[in-house]
Every structure is written in structure tokens, then in C-alpha cells.
Amino acid sequence: MATNSTPTKPIPPTPAAPPRGIKLSSQRIAILISVLVALIIAIYLGISPYLEFRQRVLALALTFSSCFLLVYFSYEALIFREINNIYAGLEKFKRKEFKQMSTKFLFRPDPLQRIKDEIYLLAERNQKEIEELKRLQAMRREFLADVSHELKTPIFAAQGFIHTLLDGAMDDERVRDKFLMKAAKSLDGLDTLVQDLITISQLEKGVMQMKKSKFDLNELGREVLEQLEGKAQARNITIHLLNASEEVFRVIGDRGRIKQVLVNLIDNAIKYGSENGNIWLSFQDGKKKTLVTVQDDGPGIPKEHHNRIFERFYRIDKSRTRDVSGGGSGLGLAISKHIVEAHKSTIAVFSEVGQGTTLRFKLTRVKD
């Protein structure tokens, strides 16, 4: 299943605003007010006849410094209190969503710039979340449309057969049996589709636990071949198990789910392979892993479809939707991919048009 994520556009950090006129810092404001107060006092002292020149200068200096300290500290305290309040609120909000923020920034110089950066960071993350939610919503919408389309085909087919029977076709015994069989086949297909939908939703939600055990892949291979032999024969396809029956390939995994993967891959090779063709199933031990290979000599898969065939409901031949002609639920490879990934592996596809198809994945070997 491919997730075409639309890349989210990060908000660029805001460049520092170019200085417009005089930048008013608390220090500058304090100096300005102090100079003003000192000037007024100086004018007053200048016209006062009681003080000498040195005393006037001293009074002026004292007035300036006490005024500066008073204004500067009260201003700073006010700003810090306000900023701390804003920051505390921001912290509370961030702690809920983003744990990585630290309080050390509070004691850094330029707290206003710091807060500005933090707000931009928050906005950027929220923006990314919104984009992700939008993407998921679009995917959900697409999935819903696909599901309803897939459900429609077998329901309409069964409905059509049953209505034709009710409209009189029931009287002819041969037609009745034929139509009932067709309706039953459509409903069987519907059942498979619903089962596959339940499986994929559980796999995607991550609620399906793999029941891991040790088992022999060669034995499982024989079981799968036996199950699919009839279907292969119907298209005159021969399935070969390349390993000798006495060989043992002990692996760790969920036997039932791995069986489902093998059935899906071989079933596809039968459905999409060439009539009178061949399918080869083989196992090969590596150092830590065992390689599982399913190969066919069918028409192959064009390169541009290699990744897409693992998407839900993706079919190369769009006209081959699920119907009695043998199309699957369109979920087989998506389910197989999830199962193999839950075994910490991936399915690799090697195929060229006219050269057949090979699908491979690995399972963890049991050490002897």
C-alpha cells in the first residue's frame, strides 16, 4: 500500500525584522526617562540660589542614577512577569503535545525572541499535523469509495440472478440451478472480500498479534500446494516444490499467517500466470534467515506497477474487478505485505514483461 504523503511545507523561521527607527529596549526607556527627570531637576536647581555648582552636579547624578535604576528594574520585572506568564501557558500547552521542550530558555537573554521562536515552532508542528490529518482524511475517503465499489459488484450480481429467478426463470430447472450457483459464487466472493477487509483493517490498526511458533516451511509448502493443486490444474499450470521432501527449513513465525501469504502469492501466480505454465516454490537457508521464493513464467508485471501492486485494491488490469472471472479482492498483496512486515521482512518483486514474476521474502531461521 503506498501512502502518497503530500510533503508538508515547513514555515520558514522568521528573519529578524529590520530596525525601524529607534528600538526601544527597557534600558533605553530607563535612560530616556532618567535624562528627562534629571534635566527638569537641573533646570530647577539651576535657578535655585541655595546650592553650589558641585552640589548641583551631585544632585543631578544622584537623581539620574536612582531614576534609571527604579525605572529599569520595575520595567524589567514587569516584562519578566508577563513573559513568565505567557511562557507558563505555552509550556502547559506544549507539555500536553510535545514533551521535548525545556524550561532553560526562560533564563536566556532575549526572552521575547525565544518566545517568538517557540510560537513559530508550535505553529509549524500544528500545521504539519493538520496536513497529516488532511492526508489521512483523503485516504479514508478514497478507501471508502473503493470499498463501496468493490462491494457493489458481487451484491448487484447476486441480486440480478435472484430477481431473474423470481421473475420466472425458476420454472426451468436447468436455468434455476445455473443462476443459483452463480448467485452463490457471487456471495462467496463477497464473503472473501469482507473477510479480507476485516483482516487488513486489523493489520493496519496493529491490533492483530502474530502468534509466533517454530515450524517447517517445507511442510507448510506441501500443504499449500495440495490446497491449490485443483485450481492450478483447472488452468493446466504445474506447481513445483523445488526442495526435496526430506529437507527441513525451521523458521519462527505465525504459521497460519505465513500460509495465507504463500496461498496469496501462489494463487496470484495461478490467476495471472499463463495457461499451461509453471510455478516454482522454493526455500533457501541463509545465515540467519530463510529465503522464500515464488516464481512463475507468466506475462510479468511492468516496472511502473511494481510498488503499486501492494496498494489496497490496486489492479494492473483495471477491467478485471472482482467477479466470477477469477479476479481477487484486490487486497491479497496488501495483506501479504503487512503480514511479512510484521515478521520484520519485506516482499521484493522481480519481474519484466514477458519474463515471468518472482516474489521473495525472508523469515527468521531457527538456530540448530
Out of 2, 62, 155, 316, name the contact with ligand ADP by CB under 6 A. 316
Nearest CB to ligand ADP, comparing residues 253 and 330: 330
In the complex, what is the shortest distance from the CB of residue 164 to ligand ADP, in angstroms, rounded to a whole number?
Answer: 27
Return the residue matching grid coordinates 525545556.
102
Nearest CB to ligand ADP, comparing residues 127 and 358: 358
Return the residue matching grid coordinates 499535523.
129
282 pairs with which residues across the strands?
Answer: 293
262 lines the binding site for ligand ADP (CB under 6 A): no
SS (H, E, C) 158-176: HHHHHHHHHCCHHHCHHHH
Out of 268, 281, 345, 362, name the contact with ligand ADP by CB under 6 A. 268
Mark 293-312 with x for binding to ligand ADP (rule: CB under 6 A) and - for no binding: ---x-x--x-------x---
State the number of binding residues for ligand ADP (CB under 6 A).
Answer: 21
Out of 258, 333, 339, 340, name the contact with ligand ADP by CB under 6 A. 333
314 lines the binding site for ligand ADP (CB under 6 A): yes
Out of 64, 161, 272, 361, name the contact with ligand ADP by CB under 6 A. 272
Stretch that binds ligand ADP, among 14-22, 25-33, 91-99, 264-272 (CB under 6 A): 264-272
Nearest CB to ligand ADP, comparing residues 251 and 270: 270
Stretch that binds ligand ADP, among 46-54, 97-105, 145-153, 332-340 (CB under 6 A): 332-340
Neighbouring C-beta atoms of residue 98, cutoff 10 Å: 11
Residue 289 near residue 362, CB atoms below 8 Å = yes
Mark 231-260 with x for binding to ligand ADP (rule: CB under 6 A) and - for no binding: ------------------------------
326 lines the binding site for ligand ADP (CB under 6 A): no
**End-to-end Cα, the chain, rounded Å:** 36
In the complex, what is the shortest distance from the CB of residue 356 to ligand ADP, in angstroms, rounded to a whole number?
Answer: 8
269 lines the binding site for ligand ADP (CB under 6 A): yes
Out of 34, 186, 218, 329, name the contact with ligand ADP by CB under 6 A. 329
Closest CA to 265 of 150, 345, 358, 191: 358
Q: Which residue is nearest to ligand ADP (CB)?
A: 328
Out of 357, 360, 362, 363, name the contact with ligand ADP by CB under 6 A. 357
Residue 292 near residue 283, CB atoms below 8 Å = yes
Q: Grid coordinates representing 293?
A: 521464493
In the complex, what is the shortest distance from the CB of residue 362 to ligand ADP, in angstroms, rounded to a whole number?
Answer: 19
Q: Grid coordinates representing 143?
A: 478507501
332 lines the binding site for ligand ADP (CB under 6 A): yes
In the complex, what is the shortest distance from the CB of residue 357 to ligand ADP, in angstroms, rounded to a whole number?
Answer: 4
328 lines the binding site for ligand ADP (CB under 6 A): yes
SS (H, E, C) 31-94: HHHHHHHHHHHHHHHHHCCCCCHHHHHHHHHHHHHHHHHHHHHHHHHHHHHHHHHHHHHHHHHH
Whole-angstrom distance, CA of residue 357 vs CA of residue 272: 10
200 lines the binding site for ligand ADP (CB under 6 A): no
Nearest CB to ligand ADP, comparing residues 41 and 334: 334
327 lines the binding site for ligand ADP (CB under 6 A): yes
Residue 270 near residue 228, CB atoms below 8 Å = yes
Q: Which residues of 146-183 are buried (b: 16+ CB within 10 A; e: fewer)?
A: beeebeebbeebbeebbebbeeebeeeeeeeeebeebb
The angle, 0 to 180 degrees and rounded to 10, between the axes of the packed helices 332-342 and 173-205 is 30
228 lines the binding site for ligand ADP (CB under 6 A): no
CA dihedral 258, 262, 263, 267 (to 10 degrees): 160
Positions that interact with ligand ADP (CB under 6 A): 264, 268-269, 272, 296, 298, 301, 309, 314-317, 327-334, 357
